[in-house]
């Protein structure tokens, strides 16, 4: 049976500055935490990415043609303030004005993120989200953007604070690459929530008439079995990835049960609880009452079982199916039930997960008025057919199947009361992935990276049909 989406449901495509723009050394752009980290790793370069810095108009024209009504872009902080603070680079400011003008020309609404994993290098070296200097400079940069870009009507403060903190300090796949530091992870999460709250409150004081939200990675966590121990492992993992953050940003206060789970993780690892002040907690509470929307990034779900050994994580960054390992001391071990289908990167395809996380927000966090799916999609190994010509449409049935199931689950959540206003596919076009380089493709539009030519995928044709009709057919 086909499912229906509301008439005003927005269909969008998502990008992030560092993953699409390329031109990392052009027009005075300052260095970011990734530049050196990737160079030392020597696996892949962030240039040219999808060369969006020069080709945004082409991609926005494609968006217009294929029913993409909105686009998630992020501003690269270091294009505006190359050093994170101080002197402004006018060429960076000009670029974003031109990008937003092109959005307007093509009738594509920009949703603009202020920080999408790309901390300026100086501030990263100063301690990133653990440093007060970074937090202060981020507020100043945000206020600058609000004044400079009145054409933007939808702002997002931070993309995925938890996944950034976890990958920086627990699993080590993001710079600075530390592992097992739950204390730093939770402190960085708390700090990001506080600075997010300050920015929401400042934006509301400025009365600019737009909307402001935050984007969170919410991968649903389930127990592997019905045993008490597995259920507790799932609760601990959920506290680390979802609950602390949902409490802090959507309820404006941490529930005592959430804090008890966090403390249990830290105690098991002999690490200190994160610190907070009454002023910070008041800021969180105020912001939660003013937040316009929450963005949900959901790709997969996790199943947890009890585990008492040492922490061990192996990140599958190559698409070698079955190579991931995730066992955290004081939390649990990830183990998928046998019947769950996975991608080559071991991400569980489980549409029920997106439904369940939407219903959880709807039921447990009623303060937040609107929800957007700000990222969802499937990474695949795809290549250009040898006989491809301009106009060749690339077949990607697996993506269409994934999107049908996930969008269908979103439609179910809407019919059960969740106020979901739109859906952004990750990603608009193929782009650079932080830990997977160029081999994990997500786009509606195929990018032949050596030539930077774009080819339409069949999923884009399917997407346009959904955007035009609001019907998800079988």
Nearer to ligand BGP, 174 or 182 (CB): 174
Nearer to ligand BGP, 201 or 298 (CB): 298
Residue 429 Cβ vs ligand BGP, minimum distance, rounded to whole Å: 13
Query: Alpha carbon of 437 to those of 42, 126, 214, 399: distances in Å?
Result: 11, 27, 26, 19
The two three-digit tokens of residue 233, written as one number: 């492992």
Cβ-proximal residues to 93 (8 Å cutoff; 6+ apart), any chain: 80, 148
> Is residue 242 involved in binding ligand BGP (CB under 6 A)?
no
> Is residue 435 involved in binding ligand BGP (CB under 6 A)?
yes
> Is residue 170 involved in binding ligand BGP (CB under 6 A)?
no
d(CA 221, CA 336): 11
Which residues from 379-418 bind ligand BGP, rule CB under 6 A?
379
Asked if residue 75 lies in contact with residue 114, where contact means CB atoms within 8 angstroms, the answer is yes
Stretch touching ligand BGP by CB under 6 A, among 24-32, 51-59, 432-440, 453-461: 432-440
Nearer to ligand BGP, 331 or 428 (CB): 428
> Is residue 163 involved in binding ligand BGP (CB under 6 A)?
yes
Tokens 């737009």 belong to residue: 210
Stretch touching ligand BGP by CB under 6 A, among 100-108, 139-147, 254-262, 426-434: 426-434
> Is residue 327 involved in binding ligand BGP (CB under 6 A)?
no
> Is residue 165 involved in binding ligand BGP (CB under 6 A)?
no
Cβ-proximal residues to 38 (8 Å cutoff; 6+ apart), any chain: 44, 45, 46
The two three-digit tokens of residue 314, written as one number: 């192996």
d(CA 192, CA 201): 14
Nearer to ligand BGP, 159 or 168 (CB): 159
CA 183 to chain centre: 22
Asked if residue 215 lies in contact with residue 297, where contact means CB atoms within 8 angstroms, the answer is yes
> Is residue 434 involved in binding ligand BGP (CB under 6 A)?
yes
> Is residue 343 involved in binding ligand BGP (CB under 6 A)?
no
Which helix (H) or strand (E) is 10 found in, with range? strand 10-14
d(CA 377, CA 163): 17
Q: Which of 21, 160, 306, 382 is catalytic?
A: 160
Which residues from 95-134 bind ligand BGP, rule CB under 6 A?
none
Query: Alpha carbon of 336 to those of 107, 110, 265, 376: distances in Å?
Result: 42, 37, 22, 20
Q: Phi and psi for 380 in degrees, rounded to 5?
A: -130, 155
Reply yes or no: is the peptide bond before residue 293 cis, omega within 30 of 0: no
End-to-end alpha carbon distance in the chain: 6
Size of the site for ligand BGP (CB under 6 A): 15
Residue 68 Cβ vs ligand BGP, minimum distance, rounded to whole Å: 17
> Is residue 440 involved in binding ligand BGP (CB under 6 A)?
yes
Stretch touching ligand BGP by CB under 6 A, among 3-11, 146-154, 430-438, 456-464: 430-438
> Is residue 429 involved in binding ligand BGP (CB under 6 A)?
no
d(CA 410, CA 354): 7
> Is residue 375 involved in binding ligand BGP (CB under 6 A)?
yes
Please, what is the angle between helix 182-206 and helix 256-268, to 10°?
A: 150
Query: Alpha carbon of 114 to those of 216, 314, 386: distances in Å?
Result: 14, 30, 40
Q: Which residue is nearest to ligand BGP (CB)?
A: 433
Asked if residue 262 lies in contact with residue 339, where contact means CB atoms within 8 angstroms, the answer is no
d(CA 37, CA 392): 37
Nearer to ligand BGP, 14 or 266 (CB): 14
Residue 431 Cβ vs ligand BGP, minimum distance, rounded to whole Å: 8
Q: Which of 89, 306, 375, 382 is catalytic?
A: 375
> Is residue 159 involved in binding ligand BGP (CB under 6 A)?
yes
Stretch touching ligand BGP by CB under 6 A, among 156-164, 265-273, 287-295, 443-451: 156-164
Tally Cβ neighbours within 10 Å of residue 415.
12
> Is residue 220 involved in binding ligand BGP (CB under 6 A)?
no
Each residue 44-83 as x (binds ligand BGP by CB under 6 A) or -, in order, gives ----------------------------------------
Is 375 annotated as catalytic?
yes
CA-based diameter of the chain, in Å? 64
> Is residue 16 involved in binding ligand BGP (CB under 6 A)?
yes
Residue 164 Cβ vs ligand BGP, minimum distance, rounded to whole Å: 9
Each residue 292-311 as x (binds ligand BGP by CB under 6 A) or -, in order, gives -----x--------------
Residue positions annotated with a catalytic role = 160, 375
Please report, as ranges, the residues that interact with ligand BGP according to CB under 6 A.
16, 19, 159-160, 163, 217, 297, 375, 379, 426, 433-436, 440
């Amino acid at each position: 049976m086909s499912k229906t989406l509301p008439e005003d449901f927005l269909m969008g495509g998502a990008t992030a500055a560092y993953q699409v723009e390329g031109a990392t050394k052009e027009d005075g752009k300052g260095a970011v935490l990734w530049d050196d980290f990737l160079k030392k790793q020597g696996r892949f370069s962030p240039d040219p990415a999808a060369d969006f810095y020069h080709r945004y108009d082409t991609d926005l024209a494609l968006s217009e043609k294929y029913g993409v009504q909105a686009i998630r872009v992020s501003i690269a902080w270091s294009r505006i303030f190359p050093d994170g603070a101080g002197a402004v680079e006018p060429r960076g400011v000009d670029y974003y004005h031109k990008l937003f003008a092109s959005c307007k020309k093509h009738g594509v609404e920009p949703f603009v993120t202020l920080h999408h994993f790309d901390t300026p290098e100086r501030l990263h070296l100063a301690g990133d989200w653990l440093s007060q200097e970074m937090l202060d400079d981020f507020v100043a940069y945000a206020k600058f953007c609000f004044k400079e870009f009145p054409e933007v009507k939808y702002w997002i403060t931070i993309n995925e604070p938890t996944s950034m903190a976890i990958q920086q300090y627990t699993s080590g796949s993001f710079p600075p690459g530390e592992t097992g530091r739950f204390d730093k992870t939770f402190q960085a999460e708390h700090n990001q929530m506080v600075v997010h709250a300050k920015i929401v409150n400042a934006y509301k004081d400025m009365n600019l008439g737009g909307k402001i939200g935050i984007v969170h990675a919410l991968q649903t966590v389930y127990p592997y079995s019905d045993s008490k121990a597995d259920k507790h492992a799932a609760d601990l993992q959920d506290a680390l990835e979802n609950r602390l953050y949902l409490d802090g940003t959507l309820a404006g206060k941490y529930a005592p049960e959430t804090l008890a789970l966090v403390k249990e993780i830290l105690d098991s690892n002999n690490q200190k609880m994160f610190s907070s002040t009454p002023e910070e907690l008041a800021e969180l509470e105020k912001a939660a009452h003013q937040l316009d929307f929450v963005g949900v990034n959901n790709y997969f779900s996790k199943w947890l079982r009890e585990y008492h050994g040492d922490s061990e994580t192996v990140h599958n960054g190559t698409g070698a199916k079955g190579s991931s390992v995730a066992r955290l001391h004081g939390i649990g071990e990830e183990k998928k039930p046998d019947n769950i289908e996975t991608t080559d990167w071991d991400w569980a395809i489980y549409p029920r997960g997106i439904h369940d996380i939407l219903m959880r927000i709807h039921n447990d966090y009623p303060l937040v008025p609107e929800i957007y799916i700000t990222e969802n999609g499937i990474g695949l190994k795809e290549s250009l057919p040898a006989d491809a010509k301009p106009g060749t449409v690339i077949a990607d049935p697996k993506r269409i199947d994934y999107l049908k199931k996930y969008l269908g689950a979103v439609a179910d959540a809407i019919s059960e009361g969740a106020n979901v206003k739109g859906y952004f596919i990750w990603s608009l076009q193929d782009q650079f992935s932080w830990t997977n380089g160029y081999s994990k493709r997500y786009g509606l539009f195929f990018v032949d990276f050596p030539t930077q030519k774009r080819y339409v995928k069949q999923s884009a044709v399917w997407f346009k049909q959904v955007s035009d009709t609001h019907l998800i057919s079988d």
